[in-house]
A and B are shown apart, each in its own frame.
Chain A
Amino acid sequence: MLTPELTQAIFFYIFAAMVLAGGVLTITRRSAVHSAMFLIVSLMGVAGLYLLQQAEFLFAVQIILYIGGIMVLFLFVIMLVNLDQAAKEKQFNGQWWIALVCVALVGAQVFWFLSKGRAAFKIAQPGILPAASALGNTEQLADVLFKEYLLPFEIASILLLVAVVGSVVMAKKRI
């Protein structure tokens, strides 16, 4: 019997498998183009997880901005920078021990918190469910973004301006 919970669980595991398999393949492939392709698979899995949690606006942003914007930027840079030489060399440096220690520490923490269950998260109580509001996710998000977070929003626009100017200055031969 295909209940809504079961359907949600099936889709969660499909998207989680996409995210994790894409992530692992991203950091293990030799060719940077292959890495970028698997990173796109991973990002599409994350977009599916947003859709699963009724965050439709973030789903669209993830597809348009991450997959359509950042990944194209990555692919352009891979094209500009000659990676053939780098692909022939050793791909990993000898820092497996540091990575292993990090993974063990963080993994132990997460496992400990998850094994304690809900009591481990002494956080705010869930708010009241908005009474089946007629507004969609995008409109609600716009309300919060442009009322409570207007100043951070404007600061983010300045950050983007600085990043644009900075990247042009970095990448240009002569200013």
Chain B
Amino acid sequence: MYPITTAHYIALSAALLLIGTVGVLTRRNIVIILMSIELILNAVNINLVAFSQALHNLNGQVFAIFVITDAVAEAAVGLGILIALFRNKETVLADEVDLLKW
């Protein structure tokens, strides 16, 4: 169980990624879908920092900073879209927005 190796971090990050994926695929509330995307991005960051630590190379942490930047941009635009959607359709449930569904 210990000492803690990179494999521990990879397993944790895989578990968090799967939790986020299940959230994206099964929830109906768009706010919680966006939160699940944040979980997925955090799983990626755990992985990047773990490998950065294992390889004694800071490039992974720089990429984690870029991932966080993307997460901020995604959250801002996603929540803007959500507000516009709620104003027009009066719903925040993903499967009630099916105008383009075949």
Chain B 24-60 interface mask (CB, 8 Å, partner A; 1/0): 0111110110111011001001100111111111110
Quote the shortest CB–CB distance from A91 to chain B (angstroms): 6
**Complex partner residue of A168 from B28, B29, B58, B80, CB under 8 angstroms:** B80
Q: Which residues of A contact B46 (CB under 8 A)?
A: 19, 46, 49
A interface residues, how many (CB within 8 angstroms): 88
Decide: A73 and B3 in contact? CB cutoff 8 A: no
Decide: B38 and A46 in contact? CB cutoff 8 A: no
Decide: B92 and A92 in contact? CB cutoff 8 A: no
Decide: B1 and A9 in contact? CB cutoff 8 A: yes
Which of B1, B22, B28, B71: most chain A Cβ within 10 A? B22
Q: Which residues of A contact B75 (CB under 8 A)?
A: 70, 73-74
Decide: B69 and A160 in contact? CB cutoff 8 A: yes
Say what secondary structure dominates the interface of chain A. Answer: helix
Give Cα distance in the complex from A114 to B71, angstroms. 28
* Interface check A90, CB cutoff 8 A: yes
Quote the shortest CB–CB distance from B68 to chain A (angstroms): 6
Decide: A58 and B55 in contact? CB cutoff 8 A: no
| A residues 9-64 touching B (CB-CB < 8 Å) | 9, 12, 16, 19-20, 23-24, 26-27, 32, 35-36, 39, 42-43, 46, 49-50, 53-55, 57-58, 61-62
Given contacts A83-B29, A144-B62, contact A171 B3 (CB under 8 A): no
Quote the shortest CB–CB distance from B2 to chain A (angstroms): 3
Given contacts A66-B68, A167-B79, contact A49 B49 (CB under 8 A): yes
Not counting A103-B21, A163-B74, a sample of 19 additional A-B residue pairs whose C-beta atoms are within 8 angstroms of each other reads A5-B3, A16-B8, A26-B19, A27-B26, A50-B49, A57-B61, A80-B83, A86-B92, A89-B28, A92-B27, A92-B28, A107-B14, A113-B10, A123-B51, A123-B55, A126-B55, A137-B61, A149-B66, A159-B70
Between-chain CB contacts (< 8 Å), 29 pairs: A20-B12, A23-B20, A27-B23, A27-B27, A32-B29, A32-B31, A36-B35, A42-B16, A53-B9, A53-B53, A54-B53, A61-B68, A69-B72, A74-B31, A81-B92, A82-B86, A83-B92, A86-B93, A91-B27, A92-B27, A93-B94, A98-B25, A106-B14, A110-B14, A141-B65, A148-B62, A159-B69, A159-B73, A160-B72
